[in-house]
A and B are shown apart, each in its own frame.
Chain A
Amino acid sequence: MTAWHVVLLASIVCFGLKALGYLVPARLMERPTPARMVDLLTVALLAALISLQTFARGQELVLDARLPAVLVAAALFALRVPFIVVVIAAALVAAGIRALT
């Protein structure tokens, strides 16, 4: 597998998933259990990605400038600060801590 193979394969799979939804009869996914699973799947995947993006460095777990940045982001989201402002603030907190240490 080259990087191109990975890029194209993943892109086609993701487009295929979108297209698939327009072919499925609507009633199937309206049932509570599949709908709930898909909903929670998004939650689980995002939470796992946040966790790795915050604590993982390769296969190691480390505590560094990312954790305070994410905590600041959580506080700002709780205060309903707009998405892009929070993202920039998180970057600044991490960059600031790294510049000072």
Chain B
Amino acid sequence: MKIRSAEDTRAIRAALAVGLPTAAYGISFGALATLGAGLDLWQTMVLSLVMFTGGSQFALVGVLAAGGLSAWPSAVASAALLGSRNAVYAIRMSPVIGPGFARRAAAAHLTIDESTAVSSAQKTLRTQRIGFWLTGLVVYVGWNLTTVIGAVIGDLLGDVSAYGLDAAAAAAFLGLLWPRLVKLQAQAVAVAAAFVAALLTPVLMPGLPVLVAALVAVLFGATNWLGGRRTSNASTGAP
């Protein structure tokens, strides 16, 4: 064991500052999954234990809550689309994690917005590793505990909307989106996607509006419309 340096302490602080509040938010996931989507406690727990990527989990239960079980193709597709960014995070984290099958498999499971963001913000390989693993583990343990609490309490609470949990979910998504809106192109994509999704809601099957809205990103991304000069650094968006 090396002696803990000031840089290590900084990485640990960042991991806790990001990890703990994120983990707390599992309460509303647990409540929305059981009350909104009608999943039972075990199904809700499996989502947090196995899927373990907040955006996808909310997307899945959100689409199921709106469209019922028959909307499952859109629910799964929405979860997958939102989870696709983890593949990109994994590519970025790959050299930080290093070799070894078991270690890489465990790292894959913990590859989420928060662990990647905290790790990427550190300067040395050692603190990048500390940031990744500590944030990932704090969120994993915390998120799963709070999911159970939310699922159980949610049952007692009754109608979540009376407690504003639906608005809380919207605010949480907004919190994830906010730091990504620095550039004009991202702002344009966000406004266009929000507009397209709302506009198509009355006419398309639940879940599909989100997927069509995703095409806005593909369009802007392929043409780099409003993107200005080529800035490949702009793609390293922290969550």
> Does A26 touch B at the CB level, under 8 Å?
yes
Report chain A residues within 8 Å CB of B80: 10, 13-14, 17
Is the Cβ of B164 less than 8 Å from the Cβ of A92? Answer: yes
Query: Interface residue tally of chain B, by bracket?
Result: 35 or more
Chain B contact residues: helix, strand, loop or mixed: helix
Residues of A within 8 A of B196 (CB): 48
A96 contacts across to B, CB distance below 8 A? 164
Q: Does B190 contact A (CB under 8 A)?
A: yes
Cβ–Cβ contact A41 & B218, under 8 A: yes
Residues of A within 8 A of B104 (CB): 22
Shortest beta-carbon distance, A23 to chain B, in Å? 9
CA distance A10 to B235 in the complex (A): 26
Residue of A nearest to B46 (CB): A7
Instruction: Tell me which of A13, A32, A39 contacts B79 (CB under 8 A).
Output: A13
Interface centre among A14, A47, A95 (most CB of B within 10 A): A47
Contact, CB under 8 Å: B90 / A43:
no
Which residues of A sit under 8 angstroms from B24, Cβ to Cβ? 84
| Residue A20 is within 8 A (CB to CB) of chain B in the complex | yes
Known A22-B108, A47-B213; contact A83-B90, beta-carbon cutoff 8 A: no
* Contact across chains for A94 and B166 when beta carbons are under 8 A apart: yes
Task: Report yes or no: B105 in contact with A19, Cβ–Cβ below 8 A.
Answer: yes
- The reply to whether B85 and A87 form a contact with Cβ atoms under 8 Å apart is no
Give the docked Cα–Cα distance between A35 and B206 (Å): 28
In this complex, the interface size class of chain A, counting residues with CB under 8 Å from chain B, is 35 or more
B62 touches A52 (CB 8 A): yes
A87→B94 CA distance, assembly (Å): 32
Q: Are A39 and B91 in contact (CB under 8 A)?
A: no
Given contacts A24-B87, A52-B201, A84-B21, contact A43 B51 (CB under 8 A): no
Q: Which residues of A57-88 are within 8 A (CB) of B? A: 58-61, 65-66, 69-70, 73-74, 77, 82-84, 86-88
Q: Report the minimal beta-carbon distance from A43 to chain B, rounded to whole angstroms.
A: 5
B86 at the interface (CB under 8 A from A): yes
**Is the beta-carbon distance between B170 and A53 smaller than 8 angstroms?**
yes
Indicate if the CB atoms of B76 and A41 lie closer than 8 Å.
no
A60 to B198, CA, bound (A): 9
